[in-house]
């Protein structure tokens, strides 16, 4: 357990008859950026609330820094910064005054304020009232609040929600810098694959409360399988013929996508032609990361997921 800054064991949360999170076993290595991915409503925020002891699990355990949070809550949370949903701030106070409130609560040195403001690039606006800030600046202020004190773990729940492409880029670059600048581990949830793909060392993919994948991006990419893409006439009969050979085949917008299995493209082409099918197009194609992601999460916009961003 010592190698993981976050570890959960069969973490489960039910609300009445509805199970929001079921048997989730997270493993987050130290000083990494871990992307927690899944559609809206997949259980990401519920999991984060259990990690922070904001809600109690129905069953299972949360260990942060190797210690059970239910037994060492205050000791653990002093080392954890978080931004859940939107940042909390007083609009009529300046950035510095907002952070001063956080500093007093945590009873840390005043120099922590200037340090946090510098990290999130808000030093120029330290004496500006927050009500005049852009949404991206408010998000950076929320991250500054999370950084004040002796932080070793930063938990961010959808930190780029509602931001324009420039704001997303600012937050992304900031998150990328944190493990190097502060030596912290960053756990970030998102429903946008491309956002996490650019910053994460490890990813966990959750759907309907169940953790479907956990590992490095390279391990996720290793799941890419080769497909054979075919245009043939008559299409439906060709699809039935391929299926009868024991192969998985899908009709996507007038093309047949065949899971390669134990047959080569040449063999499949020959079999189709010899059985009277007119083959006008045939090629091999590897599934990309986005396609794997959509398969795992149930597919595209119907699942409430955005696989790409406007960056």
Distance CA 259, CA 87 (A): 46
Percent of the chain with pLDDT over 70: 94
142-154 pLDDT tens trace: 999 999 988 999 9
Confidence category of residue 9, pLDDT binned at 50, 70, 90? very high
233-269 pLDDT tens trace: 999 999 999 999 999 899 988 999 998 777 889 999 9
Confidence category of residue 297, pLDDT binned at 50, 70, 90? confident
Distance CA 268, CA 246 (A): 12
Mean pLDDT of the chain, nearest integer: 89
- pLDDT score, position 2: 57
Cα-Cα-Cα-Cα dihedral sign, residues 283, 310, 303, 202: positive
55: alpha, beta or left? (left if phi > 0; alpha if psi -120 to 50): beta
Q: Is 164 helix (H, G, I), strand (E, B) or coil?
A: coil
Average pLDDT over residues 281-299: 78
Q: Hey, which of 118-127, 253-262, 283-292, 301-310 has the most confident mean pLDDT? A: 118-127
Task: Walk me through the domains of the chain, giving residue ranges and CATH numbers.
Answer: 4-221 (3.40.50.300), 226-286 (3.30.70.100)
Average pLDDT over residues 65-94: 92
**Residue 72, C-beta contacts closer than 8 angstroms, at least 6 positions apart:** none
201-238 pLDDT tens trace: 999 999 999 999 999 988 887 776 678 999 999 999 99
- pLDDT score, position 227: 86
Residue 36, Cβ neighbours under 10 Å: how many?
31
Instruction: Identify each DSSP E strand in 69-121 by its residue range.
Output: 80-83
- pLDDT score, position 299: 62
Q: Hey, what are 256's tokens? A: 């047949």
């Amino acid at each position: 357990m010592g190698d993981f800054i976050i570890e959960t064991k069969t973490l489960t949360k039910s609300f009445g008859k509805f199970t929001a999170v079921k048997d989730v076993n997270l493993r987050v290595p130290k000083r990494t950026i871990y992307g927690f991915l899944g559609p809206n409503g997949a259980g990401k925020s519920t999991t984060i609330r259990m990690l922070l002891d904001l809600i109690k699990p129905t069953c299972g355990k949360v260990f942060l820094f190797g210690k059970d949070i239910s037994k060492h809550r205050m000791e653990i949370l002093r080392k954890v910064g978080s931004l859940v949903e939107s940042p909390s701030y007083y609009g009529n106070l300046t950035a510095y005054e907002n952070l001063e409130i956080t500093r007093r609560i945590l009873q840390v040195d005043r120099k922590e304020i200037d340090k946090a403001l510098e990290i999130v690039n808000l030093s120029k606006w330290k004496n500006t009232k927050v009500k005049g800030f852009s949404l991206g600046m408010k998000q950076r202020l929320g991250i500054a609040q999370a950084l004040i004190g002796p932080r070793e773990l930063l938990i961010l729940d959808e930190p780029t929600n509602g931001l324009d492409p420039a704001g997303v880029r600012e937050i992304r670059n900031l998150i990328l810098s944190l493990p190097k600048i502060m030596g912290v581990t960053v756990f970030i949830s998102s429903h946008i694959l491309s956002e996490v793909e650019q910053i994460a060392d490890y990813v966990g993919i959750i759907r309907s409360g169940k953790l479907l994948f956990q590992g490095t991006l390279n391990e996720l990419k290793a799941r890419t399988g080769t497909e054979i893409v075919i245009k043939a006439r008559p299409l439906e009969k060709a699809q039935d013929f391929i299926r009868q050979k024991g192969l998985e085949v899908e009709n996507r917008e007038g093309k047949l996508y065949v899971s390669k299995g134990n047959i080569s493209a040449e063999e499949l082409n020959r079999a189709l032609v010899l059985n009277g099918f007119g083959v006008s197009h045939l090629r091999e194609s590897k599934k990309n990361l986005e396609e794997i992601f959509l398969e795992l999460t149930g597919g595209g916009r119907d699942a409430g997921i955005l696989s790409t961003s406007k960056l």
